[in-house]
Amino acid sequence: MSTVRDAERETTPPAEADAAAPAGPAGKAAPKGARVSSLRYVLGRLVFIPFAAFVVLTMSFFFVNLVPSDPVRSLLGAFATEEEVARLNTELGLDQSLFARYLDYVGDVFSGSMGASYYTSTPVLDDLGKRVLPTVLLVLLGFAVAWLIGVLLAVVIATAKGPVSRVTDGVVSMLQAIPDFVLGIVGSLVFFYLLGLVPAPVGQLPLGILPPETVTGSMVVDGLLEGNAKAVSGGVEMMVLPVLALGLSNCVIFARTISATLREVLDGKSSDYARSLGIGKPTVIVLAMRASLLPTIAVSGLVLAHLFGGAAIIERVFNWQGLGQWGVEGVLRSDLPVAQGFVVVVATMAMLAYFAADLLMFAADPRVRHQRLNQAALRAAKRSRRIAEWRSRRQGEDKQDGQQDDQLS
């Protein structure tokens, strides 16, 4: 065996031999090289983001503009004359070809503009600046609630026996079948109309409270910046129902994923061994939860992307005046700049959610990290070998040319 290994070592280039070694503590790669490779992997993902954003920009433009619509008729009404329609088409640039409009749009984006609304003439970026934060807060809080409820349900499903486990599993199945906007409507009916525990779903602030000066678009954040305690408390009250609706409708994927992993670990030999050592049941469950970390990270990106895209209906139910409601209204009115801005921002947020989940998987799972680092190292070694071979050929060709010149002289 040692002879075979020595032969492999002699025939394998040094760069590839180092790259083939595991990148973990048991491997031969130096820790400094592993850190450099990790940094290179992260930077490679960061460099990929602008390219992906440009693809998203292009796809969103053609997606919005290829959908059959007539924004000019929507603006002028059904009784507008052909001359008025033609004049407004020219003013809005809609008489140009689709590719010419695409080039104009890309040029505007790179110059810091995404156009203006056909209806309000407000720049799209100004509207985005006032509507992104309310949606981001709603989505992040809904995600946190979904994760918390999902973990609790998963523990009950995996550890409880008999009727308790079956009832909990039934509750999860019921939540899986109910859309989030239905939960929002039912919650408003019960907790506002019947019980009067929460304010009316009329926006980010209850009726009777003066809104703070608009800075970020979020009444809670703007209230904190202004020192308006009533606006802050009112804004928190208004967030309860939409956050719960998003959390309850999206906790199912966490409950299913975590409970499946917990059951497998708790029924395994490692848990039996831990119990035989006298370790208590809560500690065993906590230790088993670590095994569900990677599946949870994997589905977290999916849940966040779904929340950013799916929060629009909840925003309309609660008149939230966020990004989703603004985008849906733009689509319904054929306001192309607004619809394009909405699609670009939502798709970019979803892409960033996937990117964050990918990096967390890379950091949390040594198998993924070692595999990807070794692949990157092998690619770098092959690239270095090709460069060395090219230089060697060039030197040989230069040497032959020099010998021919000497013979001719």
pLDDT at 189: 92
Q: What is the mean pLDDT of residues 171-186?
A: 90
Residues 243 and 141: their CA atoms lie apart, in Å, by: 6
Q: Is the pLDDT of residue 120 over 60?
A: yes
112 contacts: CB under 8 Å, gap ≥ 6:
125
Q: Which amino acid is at 84?
A: E
Burial (CB < 10 A; 0-12, 13-18, 19+), residue 207, is: exposed
The number of beta carbons lying within 10 Å of the beta carbon of residue 118 is 20
pLDDT in tens, 221-280: 999 999 999 999 999 999 999 999 999 999 999 999 888 888 888 877 777 777 777 777
Banded model confidence at residue 282, pLDDT cuts 50, 70, 90:
confident
DSSP helix/strand/coil, 216: coil
Q: Give me the long-range contacts of 365-373 (CB less than 8 A, separation at least 24).
A: 365/294, 366/24, 369/23, 369/38, 370/22, 370/23, 370/24, 370/27, 372/41, 373/23, 373/34, 373/37, 373/38, 373/41
Contact yes or no for 249/186 (Cβ under 8 A)? no
pLDDT at 38: 67
DSSP helix/strand/coil, 304: helix
pLDDT in tens, 258-271: 888 888 888 777 77
71 contacts: CB under 8 Å, gap ≥ 6:
92, 94, 118, 333, 334, 335, 336
pLDDT in tens, 346-372: 988 988 888 888 888 877 766 655 555
Banded model confidence at residue 5, pLDDT cuts 50, 70, 90:
very low
pLDDT at 358: 83
Q: Is the pLDDT of residue 23 over 80?
A: no
Q: Give me the long-range contacts of 43-49 (CB less than 8 A, separation at least 24).
A: 44/376, 45/355, 45/358, 45/359, 49/351, 49/352, 49/355
Contact yes or no for 126/214 (Cβ under 8 A)? no
35 CA to centre of own chain = 26
Tell me the DSSP string of 346-378.
Answer: HHHHHHHHHHHHHHHHHHH-HHHHHHHHHHHHH
Banded model confidence at residue 13, pLDDT cuts 50, 70, 90:
very low
pLDDT at 380: 62
Considering only CA atoms, which of 159, 184, 180, 156 is closest in space to residue 170?
156
Per the document, the length of the chain is 409
Q: Is the pLDDT of residue 19 over 80?
A: no
User: Which is it for the CA torsion 173, 177, 181, 182, positive or negative?
Assistant: negative
The number of beta carbons lying within 10 Å of the beta carbon of residue 22 is 15
Residues 234 and 239: their CA atoms lie apart, in Å, by: 9
Q: Is the pLDDT of residue 140 over 50?
A: yes
Considering only CA atoms, which of 174, 177, 194, 181 is closest in space to residue 241?
181
Q: Is the pLDDT of residue 22 over 60?
A: no
Burial (CB < 10 A; 0-12, 13-18, 19+), residue 158, is: buried
Q: What is the mean pLDDT of residues 298-306?
A: 89
Q: What is the mean pLDDT of residues 328-337?
A: 89
Banded model confidence at residue 375, pLDDT cuts 50, 70, 90:
low
Percentage, residues of the chain above pLDDT 90: 27
Contact yes or no for 209/234 (Cβ under 8 A)? yes
Residues 327 and 128: their CA atoms lie apart, in Å, by: 10
Query: Average pLDDT over the chain, rounded to whole?
Result: 81
pLDDT in tens, 379-388: 666 777 777 7
Contact yes or no for 390/84 (Cβ under 8 A)? no
Banded model confidence at residue 16, pLDDT cuts 50, 70, 90:
very low
214 CA to centre of own chain = 27
Contact yes or no for 124/130 (Cβ under 8 A)? no
Q: 210: which DSSP letter? A: P
First-to-final CA distance of the chain:
57
pLDDT at 7: 39
Cα radius of gyration rounded to whole Å, the chain:
29
Q: Is the pLDDT of residue 331 over 50?
A: yes
Burial (CB < 10 A; 0-12, 13-18, 19+), residue 152, is: middle
Q: Which amino acid is at 90?
A: T
Q: What are phi and psi of 123, to 5 degrees?
A: -55, 140
Considering only CA atoms, which of 372, 380, 381 is closest in space to residue 24?
372
Q: What is the mean pLDDT of residues 299-308?
A: 89
pLDDT at 11: 38
Q: For domain 128-201+239-364, give the CATH superfamily.
A: MetI-like (1.10.3720.10)
187 contacts: CB under 8 Å, gap ≥ 6:
241, 244, 245
Answer with the residue of higher pLDDT: 403 or 338.
338
